Amino acid sequence: MWEKDFEDSDYPAVLSDLTALVEEHSAWISRDCLNLVSAHNVMSPQARAMLSSGLADRIMAGRIGNRDHAGSRFIDRIEEICIAVARRLFGARFVEYRPMSGTISNGISIYAITRPGDGVLAWPKKYGGHFTFQDEGYPFYRNLKVSDIPCEGDDVGLVDFGSLGESIATEKPSAIILGSSTALFPFPLKRIADLASEAGAKVMYDGAHVMGLIAGGVFQDPLREGAALLSGSTQKTIPGPVGGLILTNDQSVATSVQLTADRLITNYQNNRVASLTVALLELSSFGRSLADKVVMNARALAGALSKQGLVVLCKRQGFTASHQLLVDASGLGGATDAVKRLEDANILSTRIPIPSDYPSHTEAPGGLRFGTNEVTRFGMGPKEMRAIAQLITRTIADREDPRSIRKEVLELKRPFDRLRFAFGSSD
């Protein structure tokens, strides 16, 4: 922790420290690390430039056609473009672009389709259900009664449709919420949506991790498959700024979402909306090719790690159909130790609970999560995934010195210093 007593005369030195830390962090992650954090991505220079534009200096609260501040004529046009691009990309009639995170998008969505006291069926935590739609998240503050969607399975949740029908009939939920922080495969969404429709419930799809894959057409299409709304992050498989999106084709849901956002969001960083628009335009041009390669690399990395002897979840199902993969690190000294050793080797990952951690889930989860979003955008392919698998295995299974692995990481990363799938690139 940075702790230092200083006088007014020391401010220039403090500013110098701050500037150096920002520059060192950016250079370290982008230049020196294999960033396999599946919740991370990297923005193009065009998208990043929007964040430091003059839009960052002044706020234009409210929304198009409903603002108290004067001077929004250009902001309105920027946001109209954002809406138009998102509509076309996701096939959605209505777009809410103001949430400043995927978590906030989930909260607005939950508030928009429920009333206090309602029952809700949600994807279980055991299979990656996010805290935002569990008892301790927004449902607590909305006074909702949350029950798990009935599931079974060792590595991935398989919906028990017989029990689900009974739960819907008994609990009469107003909403069924799907979504996972460990999303490996599409949900059986249409079948769930049909059951929900018969009971008058709405399906919310939390696509936080897979929004870019949905945009690229390689995962699933929630709005076409029966979801009333699609909520998600804009900095994971969408290579944009930190933020959120809510998309729907239902007029009544859209009106409720918009009014809820009006009440819960005042200022929302107009520069972020411009930056997001650039990222969405990039996906409009390169999204299918990028998504295909991200998934191909995730499968290649998973297969290579499995061949190296690591326990990669869902081997019988082909490991993954998304950007991420899961490794059981319980036989490797635990996920906490593995993440630290890998970071010392300049390989970035995430510790996360996996199904075998339950029901005795603790603060020391047993899973390692890897994602191929960022390394793919820098041009890496299956050959590099096999090399990365060897480096990971040597670090956490063979227990080689991470400092020696770090030198090989730098050598592997060095040729991949140019961002792809962006305007001005060769992709």
* pLDDT tens readout for residues 88-102: 999 999 999 999 999
Strand positions, DSSP E, 36-164:
94-96, 119-122, 145-148, 151-152, 158-159
Longest dimension (CA), the chain: 70
**pLDDT value at residue 11:** 84
- Per-residue HEC secondary structure of 179-248 comes to CCCCCCCCCCHHHHHHHHHHCCCEEEEECCCCHHHHHHCCCCCHHHHCCCEEEEECCCCCCCCCCEEEEE
The amino acid present at 261, given as its one-letter code, is A
Q: Is the pLDDT of residue 4 over 70?
A: no
Starting at the earlier edge strand, list the strands of the sheet with 350-352.
311-312, 324-328, 367-371, 350-352
pLDDT at 97: 97
- Rounded to two decimals, the pTM is 0.95
Q: Which segment of 9-18, 38-47, 93-102, 312-321 scores lowest on mean pLDDT?
A: 9-18
In angstroms, rounded to a whole number, what is the distance separating the alpha carbons of residues 84 and 273?
A: 13
> In the structure, what pLDDT confidence band is assigned to residue 2 with cuts at 50, 70 and 90?
low
The stretch 364-387 carries a mean pLDDT of: 97
Minimal CA–CA distance to 157: which of 148, 168, 166? 148
Domain with CATH 3.40.640.10 in the chain: 48-280
pLDDT tens profile 270-303: 999 999 999 999 999 999 999 999 999 999 999 9
Q: Quick one: average pLDDT of 401-427?
A: 93
Lateral strand order in the sheet of 119-122: 94-96, 244-248, 229-233, 202-206, 175-178, 119-122, 145-148
In this structure, whether the domain defined by 35-42+286-413 belongs to CATH 3.90.1150.10 is answered with: yes
Give, in degrees to the nearest 5, the angle at Cα 97 between 93 and 29: 130
Q: What is the DSSP letter of 317?
A: T
Q: Three-state DSSP class for 92?
A: coil
Element at 375 (helix H, strand E): helix 373-377
Does the pLDDT at position 78 exceed 90?
yes
Instruction: Give the H/E segment covering residue 163.
Output: helix 161-171
Residues of the chain with CATH 3.90.1150.10: 35-42+286-413
Spatial neighbors of 22 by CB under 8 A, at least 6 apart, are none
> What is the pLDDT at residue 190?
98
- In the block, tokens 């297969």 appear at 303
- The band of 3, judged by pLDDT with boundaries at 50, 70 and 90, is low
Percentage, residues of the chain above pLDDT 90 = 92
User: Can you name the CATH fold of 48-280?
Assistant: Aspartate Aminotransferase; domain 2 (3.40.640)
Query: What is d(CA 114, CA 198) in angstroms, rounded to the nearest whole number?
Result: 17
pLDDT at 7 over 90: no
Alpha-carbon span 322 to 296, nearest angstrom: 9
